[in-house]
Amino acid sequence: MFKVKIYINLKEGVADPQGATIKHALDSIGYQKIGKVKTGKYLQLELDMHDKNKAREQIEDMCQKILVNPVIENYEYQIEEIK
Amino acid sequence: MRFGVIMFPGSNCDYDCWWAIKEVTGEEVDFIWHKEENITGFDCIVLPGGFSYGDYLRTGAIARFSPIMKKVKEFAERGGLVVGICNGFQILLEAGFLPGAMRKNKHLLFICKYIHLRVENPHTAFTNLCKKGQILRIPIAHFEGNYYATPDTLSTLQKKSQIIFRYCNKEGEITDEVNPNGSLDAIAGVCNERGNILGMMPHPERSCESILGSEDGKLIWKSIVTSLKRIKK
């Protein structure tokens, strides 16, 4: 059994108005030295599989087919073995 | 002509489309549940606006896997006319029927208001009763209508006249101030290369009667009927 953590981010160059708004808020509250802020999505799911390579294959497939929009988003993921 | 309006769980402009087609345009129309697997006998398929699947994951991302979408794909491949309005447009993008993607509006607001649109290409099945440069007054109502495409895709859309509508002011000028959501190149509607699939963020079904503030939306429905009659001759 695996626990999968998927991080989805907007691609470089795709406007991120939420990130810009959060940065603006941080600046105006008085926090110093805030650079670019980017928002993204975090998904966590369990996979009842034993073969890590097969699990990777399935995660890639799920990301490309539905979880991520490849026109505007990038993704990365971590797999942890759980009992 | 017989129109089919698809109902996804969370569609909420389905009855408005039904009304605009049946009562205003005077054509036949039926609802199609998204689990339906048969869409024979229709001349035009409409994907209405709303919040299919609660907009979860991404707008349109889950609806595109509804069983009906396979049939819509086959229908479009045979040359059938498909119109996606608002959430319907988002579904067509997610399904890859149209190029590009939607982002959240630039000011992070849900915008519901009348805007002006300029008809960029009147030589389509959806705009043949319009003139080039004609200004239409049609409302928008969305949070994610900020159209994006890669530079290559944008240049193809421009070269092949696939940009059908752009946001403008009432004089027809396109400026940043009148681009309500930050869309690339002020794009409000695009079609596929073949010209039989249209996606648009504004709602023509909400602007077909003067009591609602504009009748300009009728031009879209009547253009479709005109082109279907030509095809059927």
Cβ–Cβ below 8 Å for B148 and A72: yes
Candidates B53, B57, B146, partner chain A, best to mutate (most A CBs within 10 A): B57
pLDDT per residue rounded down to tens, chain A (83 residues): 999 999 999 999 898 999 999 999 999 999 999 999 999 999 999 999 999 999 999 999 999 999 999 999 999 999 999 98
Annotated active-site residue B203? The verdict is yes
- The CA distance from A71 to A62, in Å, is 16
**Residues of chain A contacting B151 with CB distance shorter than 8 Å:** none
For chain A, the 3-state helix, strand and coil shares in percent, each to the nearest 5, are: 35, 30, 35
The closest of B185, B155, B151 to B168, measured between CA atoms, is B185
Q: Write the pLDDT tens digit of every residue in B183-233.
A: 999 999 999 999 999 999 999 999 999 999 999 999 999 999 999 999 887
CATH 3.30.1280.10 fits A2-81, yes or no: yes
d(CA B10, CA B50): 6
Within 13 A of B156's CA, how many CA atoms are on the CB side? Answer: 13
Q: Which helix (H) or strand (E) holds A62?
A: helix A52-62
Catalytic annotation present for B34: no
The residue among A69, A73, A74, A75 with the most chain B CBs within 10 A of its CB, best to mutate, is A69
d(CA B25, CA B91) in angstroms, rounded, equals 25
CA–CA distance, A72 with B103 (Å, rounded to integer): 8
Which residues in chain B have Cβ-Cβ distances shorter than 8 Å to A21?
108
Q: Under CATH, what is the fold of the domain B2-232?
A: Rossmann fold (3.40.50)
Residue ranges per structural domain of chain B: 2-232
The chain B residue lying nearest A8, using CA atoms, is B57
CA-based nearest residue to B82, from B44, B32, B51: B44
Helix segments in B41-125, DSSP class H: 68-77, 87-94
